[in-house]
Structure 1
Amino acid sequence: MPMEARIGYWVWLIGCVLAIIGWIFSMGVIVFGILFNPYLLVATGMVSFFGGFRWGVILLFAATMLVSLVMLVVQLYLTLKIREGAEWARFSLTVLTFLTIIYSIILTAAGLESGGAATVTVNILSLLLLAFFWLPKANAWFLRTTDEGTTPVDSRSSAQH
């Protein structure tokens, strides 16, 4: 695996794991707020100033978080497949990243996400990190492993026998 692809792989892997941990933390805060202190959720719009739950907002948030978790798990799976030199995983991760960016734009336009500097930064970083997999050496490696029909792991194990 060329250095460019290796850097991209490790950054994507660590990023996916940290994002999943962040997702778990976010859901924990929401559940804690619903169960123990609803006034924590006033700023999110899930609870009114008078303490009443806004179940529609809560359900919409839960659905959004579920979609986010599915996307994160798929990104993690694709990242792990990239380590094997799977061209389809690289292409799928690229498509999924663009879909994630479009999804964040839709959430911002609908007023469900702030669309602030953090969202813009994450979107730009995601695109830049994808570039590692499309640089000339990494591209050649992906195409070579796809053309050979073997993954780097397969070729190492067959060379040892």
Structure 2
Amino acid sequence: MLVNNNTQAVSTVQQIKRPDMDPANAAASTLYSGALQAAQQSVTVPAAQKELDKASDRIDEAFAKTRVQLQATTAAPVASTDVAATGSTTSTARTEFNEYMSKTPAERIREQLLKEQGLTEEAVQAMPKEKQDAIAKEVAQRLKDQQEQQVAAKTTDPQAQAVKETLAAI
């Protein structure tokens, strides 16, 4: 309560109205908390449940340790490959990729054809001229077919091609 002691002013009393200060709420809260504590103490957890909880905790701990170890082992090889990549030699995969990308489409098709037939460039060079010409004609035919397929794909559905180009640009 607040009281004004000023003689000129009328004495006013203000009461603070808060729901948690209500005596009925305070009594109910006390009874509820006491009943809740009594109920928690009276309920006993079976021994089997306690063992399951302990096992679950051990599993969680093992999982966390494994995760930390995996993160540590994956971080180490990345560092070693960075060192190798910055050195004078590049990785073989990168070299192979660069070599493949530097080839013309005809060279790629020829390489694929020779691989399908189980031949090497040296074996083709040792073949008679007629067989070499047959391989060259097959490469030319496949290259022509590939170009026709690309043109057909562009001309058949311009909207689909526009969507593909847009997605490729993304």
Larger RCO, structures 1/2 (Cα 8 Å, 6+ apart): 1
> Does the pair score TM above 0.5?
no
Taking structure 1 as the reference length, what is the TM-score of the superposition? 0.24
